């Protein structure tokens, strides 16, 4: 029987990086569900559709195909109508698009089967906002990963600067706070810990310590 591990938490908590490294250590498939919403957000942006234009985005769903695949290095890539958009979906603008798009119930339904099917056929570590509460409510292990808004903004700021992007810390912090509010207050699948999740705060942990802590929790509960 396949094992599913759900990792939820706010933007910038390090879910993707930590989950990816943990999956490699445990020989699990890593599934970044946020990338799926980012891909739809990118498509809307490219087509001049506003992030809050529900009707326009729903029409868009009829014309796009979003997939998760793996390259020769076993790294996840995000395909939008066959195009690898993995590096194009990580900008602050597309992050905000993803937050708005993910609040649309029909968009979440559009991606639900894709996410669940991956867990049915593989041992997975899946991260997102509602994995333990909605997508995989029967997951073997549920972890809610968080950190203070300031710490998460600093991590995201450093990441963007390293990529050569011209950003200001205050703008990144504002984006994090805004997205936290949007994600936790949306009507459909709001961001919140599952009742049986394990809370992990990485505010005072570096990446190596965070990964070690999560792997220890996973091994203990498997």
**Residue whose token pair is 């014309």:** 63
Number of Cβ within 10 Å of residue 116's Cβ equals 13
Average pLDDT over the chain reads 92
Q: How far is CA 35 from CA 2, 76, 151, 170, 209, in A?
A: 23, 10, 22, 24, 25
pTM, whole model, 2 decimals? Answer: 0.81
pLDDT band at 65 (very low <50, low <70, confident <90, very high): very high
- pLDDT at residue 129, as a whole number: 87
């Amino acid at each position: 029987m396949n094992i599913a591990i759900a990792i939820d938490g706010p933007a910038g908590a390090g879910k993707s990086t930590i989950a990816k490294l943990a999956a490699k250590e445990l020989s699990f498939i890593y599934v970044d569900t946020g990338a799926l919403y980012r891909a739809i957000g990118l498509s809307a942006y490219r087509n001049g559709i506003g992030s809050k234009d529900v009707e326009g985005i729903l029409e868009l769903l009829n014309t796009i195909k979003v997939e998760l695949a793996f390259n020769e290095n076993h790294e996840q890539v995000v395909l939008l109508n066959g195009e690898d958009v993995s590096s194009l979906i990580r900008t602050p603008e597309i992050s905000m698009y993803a937050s708005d798009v993910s609040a649309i119930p029909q968009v979440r339904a559009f991606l639900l089967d894709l996410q669940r099917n991956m867990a049915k056929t593989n041992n997975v570590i899946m991260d997102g906002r509602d994995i333990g509460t909605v997508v995989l409510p029967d997951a073997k292990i549920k972890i809610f990963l968080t950190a203070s808004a300031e710490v998460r903004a600093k991590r995201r700021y450093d990441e963007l600067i390293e990529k050569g992007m011209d950003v200001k810390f205050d703008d990144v912090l504002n984006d994090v706070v805004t997205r936290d509010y949007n994600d936790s207050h949306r009507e459909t699948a709001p961001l919140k810990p599952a009742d049986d999740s394990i809370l992990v705060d990485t505010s005072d942990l570096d990446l190596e310590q965070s990964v070690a802590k999560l792997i220890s929790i996973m091994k203990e509960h498997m």
